[in-house]
Amino acid sequence: MHTRLISQPNADTLLVYFAGWGTPDSVAEAMAPAADVLLCSDYRDTVLNFDFSRYRRIGVLAWSMGVWVAERAMQGVKVDWAAAVNGTGFPYDDQFGIPCAVFDQTLARFDERNRAKFEQRMCADADSLAHYRRLDGHRSQQSLHDELSFLHQAVQADHHTDLLIWHEAWIGARDRIIPAANQSAYWQSRCPVIEFDGGHYPYTHWPRWNEAT
């Protein structure tokens, strides 16, 4: 797992952001100006080596596959606030996550052309797609394939859920990656759900760190 810390002077609060598969961590650079932000991405393992002891309050914001990773990486850490965005604890699942055949085909057919198609499906409209593609930190084709291969195997091998207490789940009504109905079915008995009019990439619909401070 790749991590990068953005520090603020004398901050005693920390937002831990878990990116979606293959997405640049620059998505979250400006999310919490009053807090330190730990950006987590590039999941070729779920090990998070970080000293949380200096922080008075800790929040978690996880997007897409980052929801599954966060539940494993944050074990043993006291979390004051956790929000899941367009993700579930069963990311490889016909009822609660990405339909299994779709996940399998994404890995089997992954190339530059299909990567571009995935980004188009991920974004709800031309504005959000243009914004996403302007972000810094887009990675190589090989690194994305390696990450997806790891996640494809790992999520099938580890079916544990509810390893983290989630305070809210945000669901894009036009999500074409993890169907909104699947997300709703997963979260309805677990925590409050906020539905927004957007796609898998939240663009302007992120939960605010103010909730945790």
**Contact, 31 vs 37, CB < 8 A?**
yes
Q: Measured between alpha carbons, how far is 165 from 188 in angstroms, rounded to an integer?
A: 14
Which CATH number fits the domain 2-196, given the four candidates 3.90.1300.10, 3.30.365.10, 3.40.50.1820, 1.10.3720.10? 3.40.50.1820
Distances (CA, A) of 109 to 113, 115, 120, 188: 9, 9, 16, 33
pLDDT by residue (tens digit) across 72-130? 999 999 999 999 999 999 999 999 999 999 999 999 999 999 999 999 999 999 999 99
pTM: 0.95
Q: Measured between alpha carbons, how far is 37 from 178 in angstroms, rounded to an integer?
A: 26
pLDDT by residue (tens digit) across 124-153? 999 999 999 999 888 899 999 999 999 999
